[in-house]
Amino acid sequence: MDLSWMAWTTPTAIFFATIGCLIVLMCVWEAVSPGGQPRKGILRFETTRGDRLFVTLLGSAFINLAWLAWLGPPLWWALGVCVLFAVLVFLFV
């Protein structure tokens, strides 16, 4: 399959594969432990696991864009910031 028109690179493929794996992982988590009751965190409105995953993905995109704008590549430290952000979102939001 020729995907050259999409300018696929290894980092791009890893990025989309990671998002796909996260969605599958969330589906498995819901199947194993159904319910995932909504809870109120520091944002003061109810969020579910899926909401927190969405906030994490959206926030990570902005973290990476800001990193590129201010510091440029490479993005390894930005990845660390994103992982920390994800942990904080799932704990406190």
Query: What is the predicted pLDDT for the residue at 45?
Result: 87
Q: State pTM to two decimals.
A: 0.78
What digits encode the pLDDT tens for the residues 7-46? 777 777 888 898 999 999 999 988 898 877 888 888 888 9
Query: What is the predicted pLDDT for the residue at 1?
Result: 66
Query: What is the predicted pLDDT for the residue at 89?
Result: 94
What digits encode the pLDDT tens for the residues 49-93? 888 999 999 999 999 999 999 998 888 899 999 999 999 999 998
Q: Which residue did the predictor score with more confidence, 12 or 47? A: 47
Q: CA 87, CA 93: separation in Å to the nearest integer?
A: 10
Handedness of CA 52, 80, 68, 3 (dihedral sign): negative
